[in-house]
């Protein structure tokens, strides 16, 4: 896989990318006058910081658990439609584990998704070195991608190359999406073509920095499907390739897109998004007993993914696409949990205090 080519630059980009993703989603919580969110944020930063606190929290939780173990409960979510049902499969992925609308759909000033602006673009984030806008990806011929060919849309998603051949800036997860199977890519494109066209102009992203020559090696061969019966491989496909959980939850590395020897150990810092007075750290989701999720039950892990509630009942910051993950089928959610539980206990350094 592509790794060593663009090192310090890549790291910089990756850092921006994460900041952007998070800030984008932090928009969910509206403007900085929402004091509830602010508190949750400080807790997030504190929580991940101290082993003693984590232990204390664990002890408290353990007591609670003896009284009343948490039981994950939601209405049954049926399995994905078969791969032959391109449109159904595409809807299942895009509205679910891929969560493309988390960035690409219109939101109001409180960060709530606006009905009628699905996939019509909205999200903006300004960093010193770039300003990124998630474009309108509805089939509108003027302001969306209605005139693009399937090949052009595929190249945009896999390789970050626009229809005019130029390279996009951050923050889409090209290094992950590159390996989406050809069938699933066709399904995603079929679904994007089926959403109502919305006429909505979104400014072009501005990148004030040198981009690498490419984000990933070009895809020249069809990418095979992974059979769901291969539970671990398919769980990885859902969580890593399509859901890019591992993008946010793996420490960045000098030489590559992430230090996968410490997969899941988190600690990527998302500093002061939108002028909030908090920074957030991606949680450690390895099997570490106290700093990670080693002591969590499967039901507790599912609650965090789908409802954004931590083991101790704390509401997680609105960064992950919980409302999308809610549509992941019962059986796929099982596979995601199975896969992330393979992350061996490991610890990443929290960023230095002055970086907060
Ligand atoms: C983290 C936020 C984020 C997520 C998640 C995301 N995108 Fe994007 N996407 C962007 C941004 C920002 C751009 C524009 C980048 C640029 O132009 O430099 C973009 C560009 C695109 C484009 C090119 C459109 C154009 O007009 O240039 C397509 C197509 C696209 N995304 C599809 C998808 C699909 C499909 C998914 C889900 C599998 C997805 N995106 C997930 C942020 C995101
Ligand atoms: C956009 C970045 C991002 C993505 C993508 C993402 N996460 Fe997270 N996740 C976070 C952050 C940040 C937190 C911590 C939030 C907080 O502390 O309030 C978190 C928290 C969690 C937690 C709770 C941990 C704890 O100690 O409370 C779990 C479990 C988790 N994520 C699993 C996943 C899984 C599984 C996926 C993919 C389906 C995923 N995440 C995708 C950023 C992300």
44-89 tens-digit pLDDT: 444 444 555 555 555 555 555 556 899 999 999 999 999 999 999 9
Nearest CA to ligand 2 atom 17: 44
Q: Residue 343 and residue 284: Cα distance in Å, rounded? A: 10
Closest CA to 193 of 152, 239, 240, 159: 152
Nearest CA to ligand 2 atom 26: 283
Question: Residue whose CA is closest, atom 40 of ligand 1?
Answer: 100
Beta-carbon contacts of residue 197 (< 8 Å; ≥ 6 apart):
138, 139, 140, 141, 144, 146
* Residue among 64, 10, 13, 26 at smallest CA distance from 275: 26
| H-only helix segments in the chain | 7-26, 35-49, 51-67, 86-94, 101-104, 150-159, 174-177, 182-194, 231-236, 245-249, 298-307, 322-325, 330-340
Q: Is residue 273 part of a domain?
A: yes
Within a domain: 52: yes
Q: How far is CA 234 from CA 188, 228, 239, 332, 344, in A?
A: 18, 5, 9, 9, 19
Residue 172 C-alpha to ligand 1 middle, in angstroms?
6
Of residues 336 and 31, the one with the higher pLDDT is 336
- Domain tally for the chain? 1
Matching residue, tokens 């991606």: 282
Q: Is residue 261 part of a domain?
A: yes
**Enclosing H/E stretch for 172:** none
Q: What are residue 131's phi and psi, to 5 degrees?
A: -125, 120
For the chain, the average pLDDT equals 81
Residue 181 lies in a domain: no
Ligand 2: residue of 39, 101, 240, 248 to mutate (most ligand atoms within 8 A of CB) is 248
Q: Would 239 be classed as within a structural domain? A: no
* Confidence grade of residue 210 (pLDDT, cut at 50, 70, 90): confident
Rg over CA atoms, the chain: 20
Asked if residue 315 is part of any domain, the answer here is yes
pLDDT in tens, 149-196: 999 999 999 999 999 999 998 888 999 999 999 999 999 999 999 999
The answer to whether residue 323 is domain-embedded is yes
For ligand 1, atom 12, name the residue with the nearest CA: 134
Q: Is residue 105 part of a domain?
A: no
Measured in Å, residue 344 CA sits from the centre of ligand 1 at 32
User: Structural domain of residue 73, as residue ranges?
Assistant: 7-24+37-78+248-355
| Terminal-to-terminal C-alpha distance of the chain | 33
> Which residues surround ligand 1 with Cβ inside 6 Å?
21, 24, 98, 100, 102-104, 132, 134-135, 137, 145, 153, 156-157, 162, 168-169, 171-172, 188, 205
Cα(110) to centroid of ligand 2, in Å? 21
Choose among 339, 300, 303, 307: nearest CA to 323: 307
């Amino acid at each position: 896989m592509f790794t060593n080519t663009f090192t310090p630059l890549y790291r910089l980009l990756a850092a921006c990318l994460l900041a952007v993703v998070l800030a984008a989603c932090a928009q969910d919580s509206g403007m900085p006058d929402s004091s509830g969110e602010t508190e949750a944020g400080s807790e997030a930063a504190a929580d991940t910081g101290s082993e003693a606190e984590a232990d204390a929290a664990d002890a408290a939780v353990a007591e609670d658990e003896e009284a009343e173990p948490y039981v994950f409960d939601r209405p049954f979510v049926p399995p994905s439609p078969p791969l032959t049902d391109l449109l159904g499969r595409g809807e299942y992925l895009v509205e679910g584990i891929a969560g493309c609308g988390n960035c690409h759909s219109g939101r109001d000033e409180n960060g709530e998704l606006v009905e009628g602006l699905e996939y019509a673009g909205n999200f903006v984030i300004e960093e010193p070195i770039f300003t990124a806008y998630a474009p309108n990806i509805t089939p509108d011929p003027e302001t969306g991608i209605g005139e693009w060919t399937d090949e052009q849309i595929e190249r945009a998603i896999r390789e970050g190359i626009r229809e005019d051949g130029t390279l996009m800036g951050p923050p889409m997860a090209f290094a992950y999406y590159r390996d989406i199977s050809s069938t699933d890519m066709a399904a995603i494109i079929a679904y994007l073509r089926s959403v109502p066209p919305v006429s909505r102009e979104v400014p072009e992203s501005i990148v004030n920095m040198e981009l690498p020559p490419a984000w990933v090696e070009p895809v020249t061969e069809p990418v095979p499907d992974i059979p769901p019966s291969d539970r671990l491989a398919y769980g990885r496909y859902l969580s890593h390739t399509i859901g890019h959980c591992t993008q946010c939850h793996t420490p960045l590395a000098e030489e590559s897109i992430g230090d996968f020897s410490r997969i899941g150990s988190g600690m990527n810092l998302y500093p002061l998004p939108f002028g909030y007075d908090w920074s957030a750290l991606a949680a450690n989701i390895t099997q570490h007993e106290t700093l990670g999720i080693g002591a969590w039950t499967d039901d507790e892990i599912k609650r965090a993914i789908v409802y954004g509630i931590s083991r101790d009942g704390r509401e997680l910051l609105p960064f992950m696409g919980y409302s999308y993950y809610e549509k992941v089928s019962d059986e796929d959610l099982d596979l995601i949990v199975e896969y992330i539980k393979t992350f061996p206990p490991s610890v990443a350094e929290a960023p230095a205090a002055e970086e907060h």
